[in-house]
Structure 1
């Protein structure tokens, strides 16, 4: 794990950064190249969820309009069906998942907008070999999943990849590989 790391802090229900550390850190081995690690499993400090719909426009009006395992939530001012993956701690999530709490870096960068369960092959640093740590993979700036580095990895961080690629977890290969990043809208 790189040395140049700073804590990620919980945010409250109004998306205001608190001074409570989340158990995650962001490391920047090189400028503009960052990696997040979950060092410790800590329960969320605040309930930060997408609010339920209350008559706003969108794809649904109630939970009954959504498929199994989904709820009708207000998502950026529009009602839509979202996965019912709310959590306050890892025990609220299914096997193979951990609870990612809403949080920001010390510099104010958002890393998780709402508390939710994410896919994971580890829960904290000690679950991974050596000093590697339980590492996050992203979609845009939002953390999607967390997995240990493997001996078969193609990369350790973005600088190991071509300038247009990033280092992301490949669920099919079960290792970290250089991939073209997703386009954020």
Structure 2
């Protein structure tokens, strides 16, 4: 389980390259909402957020810097992710703000523990992944993504 102890500014601008005519859901930055840009994500133009700090992200998001310097969380590029917390001070108990993985350790959500949680970490899940379930608003045991 990965915990965010403190918000850090990213050390380097590590962003997806700009689109240059690739197919996808956007053609230019103007096609994207909010703070998102039209970026070439593995050969497809997609709207993606990019950031250097939490202040570059919309409300309810935190900035994940590329690399493993985020309390163990992995990010391939600097990007904003949904978050119900930004650090341990936002959570009621000592467990703190923790990250939910969706792809090979890549964070897709940060959230506080809840009294209704099914698991605390992967050890509680018998080989499955302890991850945030947005529909239930709690941590549950889930199947791993395709990177296993």
How high is the TM-score relative to the length of structure 1?
A: 0.68
- Please say if residues 102 and 114 of structure 1, whose CA atoms lie closer than 8 Å, have aligned partners that are also in contact: yes
| Residue deviations 1:87-120 (CA, integer Å, cap 9, x gap) | 1111111111111111226xxx871001111000
Q: Which runs of 5+ in 2 are unaligned?
A: none
- Please say if residues 136 and 144 of structure 1, whose CA atoms lie closer than 8 Å, have aligned partners that are also in contact: yes
Could you tell me how far 1:68 is from its partner in structure 2?
3.1
Distance 2:108 2:48 in 1: 15
Shift of the 110–172 alpha-carbon distance from structure 1 to 2, 3 Å rule, reads closer
Aligned residue pairs: how many?
142
- 2:39 is the counterpart of 1:73: yes
| Residue deviations 1:42-98 (CA, integer Å, cap 9, x gap) | 11111110011346xx3159417x84325432323x2x2222311111111111111
Distance 2:48 2:39 in 1: 9
Residue 129 of structure 2 corresponds to which residue in structure 1?
Answer: 166
Distance 1:72 1:132 in 2: 37
- Please say if residues 71 and 81 of structure 1, whose CA atoms lie closer than 8 Å, have aligned partners that are also in contact: no
Residue 177 of structure 1 corresponds to which residue in structure 2?
Answer: 140
Residue 39 of structure 1 corresponds to which residue in structure 2?
Answer: 5
SS in 2 for 1:159: helix
SS in 2 for 1:88: coil
| Residue deviations 1:156-179 (CA, integer Å, cap 9, x gap) | 01110132x210000011110111
How high is the TM-score relative to the length of structure 2?
A: 0.84
Match of 1:134 among 97, 106, 113: 97
RMSD, aligned CA: 2.4
Q: Which runs of 5+ in 1 are unaligned?
A: 1-34
Distance 1:96 1:62 in 2: 27
Question: Runs (4+) of structure 1 moved beyond 3 Å?
Answer: none
